Amino acid sequence: MTWNPRPLGVEDVAVHRRGKGQPLVLVHCLGQSWRFWDVLEPLTDRHEVIAYSLPGHADTPLPAGQYGQDETTAQLKALMEREGIAKAHLAGISMGGSLVQHFAGTHPEMVDRLILCDCTPLYNEESRANWPVRAAIAREKGVAALIPMLMGVFFTPGSVAEDGPNVRHVREVFEACSGEGYALACEWLAMVDAREQAKRITAPTLVMLGSEERAAFKEAAAWMHANIPGSQGVVEVPVAGHASVRERPDFAVAQFRAFLGG
């Protein structure tokens, strides 16, 4: 895979703000959108819940080319400054979790508390080799070609069979996702390495992941807990896969409330 990351702008990035109280900035996972976090709507009674879509996802236009972790961190900083947010709670899932981990170690003064869901600071060798392959499929055949595999990763078999509203939402957003937007994000994931930034995080940090997550993510959760100075522990979301927050929203809301103090 060739690698030529370019800066990301904020001019065309929409930021969606709901509720009132301490700001809580949310960053979603690969192939989804800012609406992934709709299930956290109950938190708007005590927090201003703030979300945006990653480059080339939903209402955020395709970027000019590849982008890396430095570019997404710079973009998030610029977005927070544009929105007048000097400091906030941050939470991210999967790609979003890797991103906010890098951000929190780069700009610790801007982070109050941090929640890392179903993520890793660095993908293992097998995954890093697979991301360009997945990018090529998305470019050639569209994200729809990947959906059968993705649904089995994001949700437990019982949830997939039940096909409830949260499962349908994720599937529909995958179906609408730009193949190029997805591919560029895959390349970001192949290159991300936030291990050094993780060790510089000063915010109290909660690590969450689905109980049915793959072994690599459970190993990553243990690494983050051991290496992030302010880690408060690891919480497993019961009977949940990679989209743990979306699969078990009531549990997630309770954990967010307890950790954020609202």
Q: Indicate whether 254 pLDDT > 90.
A: yes
Q: Rounded to an integer, what distance in angstroms lies between the CA atom of residue 96 and that of residue 60?
A: 15
Q: How confident is the model at residue 97 (pLDDT cuts 50, 70, 90)?
A: very high
In the chain the first and final C-alpha atoms are separated, in Å, by 44
- Reported as a single tens digit per residue, the pLDDT across 44-61 is 999 999 999 999 999 999
Q: Indicate whether 256 pLDDT > 80.
A: yes
DSSP summary character for residue 111: E
Q: Rounded to an integer, what distance in angstroms lies between the CA atom of residue 205 and that of residue 212?
A: 22
CB atoms within 10 A of CB 86: 9
What is the per-residue pLDDT for 1?
87
* DSSP notation for 245-256: HHHSHHHHHHHH
For the chain, the C-alpha Rg in angstroms (whole number) is 17
What is the per-residue pLDDT for 28?
98
Q: Indicate whether 262 pLDDT > 90.
A: no
What is the per-residue pLDDT for 16?
98
For CA atoms 97, 227, 208, 171, the dihedral sign is: positive
* Percent of the chain residues past pLDDT 70, beyond the cut: 100
Three-state SS for 203-254 is CCEEEEEECCCCHHHHHHHHHHHHHCCCEEEEEEECCCCCCHHHHCHHHHHH
Q: Average the pLDDT over 7-11 and give the result.
A: 97
CA distances from 47 to 18, 102, 226 (A): 8, 23, 29
- Reported as a single tens digit per residue, the pLDDT across 154-195 is 999 999 999 999 999 999 999 999 999 999 999 999 999 999
CA distances from 103 to 41, 52, 175, 250 (A): 24, 15, 29, 27
Q: Quick check: 206 and 233 in contact, CB under 8 A?
A: yes
Buried b (16+ CB within 10 A) or exposed e, 91-114: bbbbbbbbbbbbbbbbbeebbebb
Whether this prediction's pTM lies above 0.85 is answered by yes
- Amino acid symbol at 184: L
Return all residues near 120 (Cβ < 8 A) that are at least 6 apart: 97, 98, 216, 217, 220, 223, 224
Per the prediction, the chain carries an average pLDDT of 98
The CATH-assigned architecture of domain 15-260 is 3-Layer(aba) Sandwich (3.40)
Q: Rounded to an integer, what distance in angstroms lies between the CA atom of residue 176 and that of residue 36?
A: 14
In the chain, domain spans: 15-260
Strands 22-27 and 111-117 come out as unpaired
- Amino acid symbol at 62: L
Q: How confident is the model at residue 80 (pLDDT cuts 50, 70, 90)?
A: very high
Encoded tokens for 167: 């499962």
| Matching residue, tokens 């973009």 | 75
Q: At CA 13, angle to CA 8 and CA 14, rounded to 5?
A: 160
